Amino acid sequence: MPRMVCVFIFYSVKWVRINFMKIYPLLFLFLSSLASADTQCMQNYFASRVGETLEYRVEIDGIRAKGARAISQSDSGQFTLLQSVSVLLASLEEESHFIVDEQGIVPINYLFEQQGLGARKTTIQFNGATAEVNRKGKTSQLELPQGFQDPLTFILQLQAATSCGESIETLKIPLVKSKGVSEVVFVQGESSVVKSGEKDLVLETWQRVDGDKIEKVGLIPELNNLLYSFEQREGEKINRLQLIDLP
């Protein structure tokens, strides 16, 4: 019996050695097809959002306003996400340009501009493994981790990743801001129901805790992971937005 086992193992190893070069191309094609499927899913997801403009009720530290988020795409295939808020004597505008691969969003550049009271401007230009930050007239360099997102795209990446990926309960996203890089960890929370006319829609909640700061993101899977709500709490300070009308 031991001899038979040895013979079996020998021929198994020999077979693996002989056929490895035959198997490797098939394995490569299989993995490539998975990557292509992921890329296609991501491309389809963002293509389905092109032309979409959503209006939100916004509350910034007790001050109420209205805001909007819109996604567009250029002829070159590059996407633009624009978010704007007008509040009292100031207006805030964020704009992110990005492309999409099998991992999701790849930011190209980011702009934050506040006009009116407290006017300021920040830009981040992403160049491969580094980013150039221009803030308050000063320029600095940051090293970029794999899969990084900017301050505007990280929620959009959560929407896409949970739409195209298998069941996800936790999602880690490296977040690049003007002051440095940190890791955002979203954990899936409890689901609830929101009304759309006479129809009930499931609202999935994702939560992020960072010290005293708690952020909650509400997505509606049935509506292509539509961003329904966002809330940020830090001490007594509360910022939030909520979709005005469901499509």
pLDDT of residue 118: 86
Find out whether 201 and 193 touch, Cβ atoms under 8 Å: yes
pLDDT of residue 242: 97
pLDDT, one tens digit for every residue, the chain (247 residues): 444 333 323 333 333 343 434 434 333 333 333 333 477 888 889 999 999 999 999 998 888 999 999 999 999 999 999 999 998 888 999 999 999 987 789 999 999 999 988 899 999 999 989 999 999 889 999 999 999 999 999 999 999 999 987 678 899 999 999 999 999 999 999 999 999 888 999 999 999 998 889 999 999 999 999 999 999 999 989 999 999 998 7
Where does the chain show beta strands of DSSP type E? 53-60, 63-73, 79-87, 90-101, 104-116, 120-127, 130-135, 138-143, 170-177, 180-196, 199-210, 213-220, 226-234, 237-243
pLDDT recorded at residue 49: 93
The pLDDT assigned to 61 comes to: 86
Distance CA 164, CA 83 (A): 24
Burial profile 188-206: b = 16 or more Cβ within 10 angstroms, e = fewer:
beeeeebeeeeeebebbbb
Contact 100, 81 (CB under 8 A): no
* DSSP string for residues in 178-205: TTEEEEEEEEEEEEEEEEETTEEEEEEE
| Rounded distance between C-alpha atoms, residue 150 and residue 238, angstroms | 22
The reported pTM is 0.81
Within 10 angstroms of residue 146's Cβ, the number of other Cβ atoms is 7
Measured CA to CA, the distance from residue 206 to residue 41 in angstroms comes to 21
Helix (H) or strand (E) holding 88: none
At 24 the pLDDT is: 40
Distance CA 189, CA 75 (A): 38
User: Residue 141, Cβ neighbours under 10 Å: how many?
Assistant: 9
For residues 109 and 127, what is the distance between their CA atoms, to the nearest angstrom?
9
pLDDT at 247: 79
